[in-house]
Structure 1
Amino acid sequence: MTASTLAAPRTLTRRVSPAATLRHTATLAWRSLVQIKHNPMELIDLSIQPIMFVLLFTYVFGGQMTGGHPVQYLQFALPGIIAQNAMFATMNTGFLLNTDITKGVFDRLRSLPIGRMAPLAGRIVADTVKQAWSMAILLAVGLLIGFRVKTNIGGLLLAFLLLLAFALAFSWIAVLIGVLVSEPDKVMIFGFTTIFPLSFTSTAFARVDTMPGWLQAWVKVNPVTHLSDATRGLISSGPVASPVIKTMVWGVAIAAVFAPLAVRALRRRV
């Protein structure tokens, strides 16, 4: 009799190549974008809310701020409105991430042979695309009612890239909150209780020299101030180099602190 040799069982591995992870991320990002057709309210939120902000700030506050010249105030405030909207939109990342986690979608995705970080990366990439759409809507409405780009197309593109980069860094805060809280609505509560005061105590809507002295100290270091000033300088008028550098420093610092915390919290939860 001949002895039969049993082959050693093959060890399965969860390792996925970087190229495959990129493909999985793109697929999941597309999944998140396609879902809009089944939930059109999400696209309405990304479109109607920015339009309302532009119209309200221009025609309700603009006359008071500039002595009856609302379009003049729009020229100052639109970059700040875009910056504030970019930060608010990051909360959508945390909201939808928490929804996927609490409904078990994340567990089903993680059971597939895909890159470990692809579900999270796909969500962030999709929301970055939505951010670009919302920014374009804001600028288009501003142009329709009187805003004018006083630099050039290069400055406009750099402003959009800076806004998207900062929003991407800031979204790690939303990811961390989305992982930690038990319900999606709590992510939005966090957004309203932090981003509103953060954006209004900046130069997004008013000049720093019009504020009380005790408040000016905070306004001058507020990251929203630097983001608003950088955007304003790139598409309208004002300093560019200093606010752009400070915005980038803030973005790197936020990502360096909150990205590892968010990833660690996500691994513990799922």
Structure 2
Amino acid sequence: MTASTVGERVEPKPPSTWRQTSIMVRRSLIHTKRMPEMLSDVTAQPIMFVVLFAFVFGPAMPTPGGGSYREYLLPGIMGQTIVFTAFIVSNGITADVDKGIVDRFRSLPINRTSYLLGRAVASLLHSSIGIVVMALTGLAIGWRIHTSFPEAVLGFALVLVFGFGMIWFGILIGSWLKSVEAVNGFMFTFLFPLTFLSNAFVPTAPMAPWLRAIAEWNPVSSLVQAMRQLWGNGPVAAEGAAFPLHHPIIATIVWSLVFTAAFAPFALRAFRRRTAN
């Protein structure tokens, strides 16, 4: 063995992007474990929404097709919950940047893409807890799935796929806006009309023609209609409904892919710009 070989320094090889992503996911899960109050938005709030709409507003709501409004309601609230995944991830990213946590990561051999991927996966897991809580709450108040097991699984899978697309929108907003207050204001102003101007809580047929067209082309409407169709929780789309409601499963998959393809590149660029200095 030569002297040059003995004194040679071997640089450690940085972990792969997927390994870095899994570390970021684990970091977020540890945060949740140490601060369980962070789960209030996917535990207490879904139960509150289900009980509020089922028992307070439900008796005054029309029951499409003569079925149970509670069964009609659950897919709508699940759709609303997964849309607000974008709000959760945007707040988390903005808080990490403000607290200097991202700057600490930059001092390490970590790919910034892996940080965002880790945030995306962790947020999806976070919101999945809310979907489970709502499903259990729904079962307690009379909601049931009337179709086959594969159709039931496909319905839940569509929720997660759609949520993954919305997460990239949240990452974009969290990287673009400079404060948690600005993120809160923007996301509430945008997401609440997005979820309520849909078929999530009421049918679209009685709406004014121009408003009905907006509601039926709303991506949330196709997601909710797909869940109702796959779970047997509501009538098929009315004869004059827009194309996405007659083909909700395909429309939901297309919307999800479009969201991911459209928002992810801009989100990565916005995050790099914000963390460049």
Q: TM-score, normalised by structure 2?
A: 0.87
2:68 aligned counterpart, secondary structure: helix
Tell me, yes or no, if structure 1 residue 252 matches structure 2 residue 257.
yes
Question: In 1, distance between residues paired with 2:103 and 2:47?
Answer: 37
Structure 1 range deviating more: 101-110 or 137-146: 101-110
Which residue matches 1:266?
271
Task: Please give the residue correspondences for 1:28-43 in structure 2 after superposition, counting only pairs within 5 Å.
Answer: 28-43=24-39
Percent identity between the aligned chains? 38
Give the gaps of 5 or more residues in structure 2. Answer: 237-244
Secondary structure at the counterpart of residue 113 of structure 1 = coil
Q: Residues 137-152 of structure 1 correspond to what in structure 2 (within 5 A)?
A: 137-152=133-148
Shift of 1:194: 1.0
Q: Distance in 2 between matches of 1:241 and 1:219?
A: 14
Q: 1:47 — aligned with what? A: 43
Residue 202 (structure 2) pairs with residue 206 (structure 1):
yes
TM-superposed CA distance for 1:89, in Å, is 2.4
5 Å-filtered alignment, 1:127-138, equals 127-138=123-134
In structure 2, distance between residues paired with 1:183 and 1:38 = 24
Shift of 1:10: 8.9
Aligned residues: 261
Query: What runs of 5+ residues in structure 1 fail to find an aligned partner?
Result: none
Contact 2:18 2:114 (8 Å CA) reproduced? yes
> Within the alignment, does 1:91 sit opposite 2:87 as a pair?
yes
Contact 1:95-1:185 within 8 A present in 2 as well:
no
Contact in 2 for aligned 1:66/1:72 (Cα 8 Å): no
Q: C-alpha separation between the residues in 2 aligned to 1:243 and 1:171?
A: 21
Tell me how far 1:16 sits from its aligned partner: 5.3
Q: Does 1:242 align with 2:238?
A: no
Equivalent residues in 2 for 1:7-156, closer than 5 Å: 20-66=16-62, 72-156=68-152
Give me the whole-angstrom Cα distance separating, in 2, the residues matched to 1:231 and 1:191: 24
User: Structure 1 residue 12: deviation in Å?
Assistant: 7.7
In the alignment, the residues of structure 2 paired with residue 100 and residue 211 of structure 1 have an alpha-carbon distance, to the nearest angstrom, of: 42
Asked whether the equivalents of residues 62 and 72 of structure 1 are also in contact (C-alpha less than 8 Å), the reply is: no
Kept in 1: contact 2:62–2:202 (CA 8 A): no
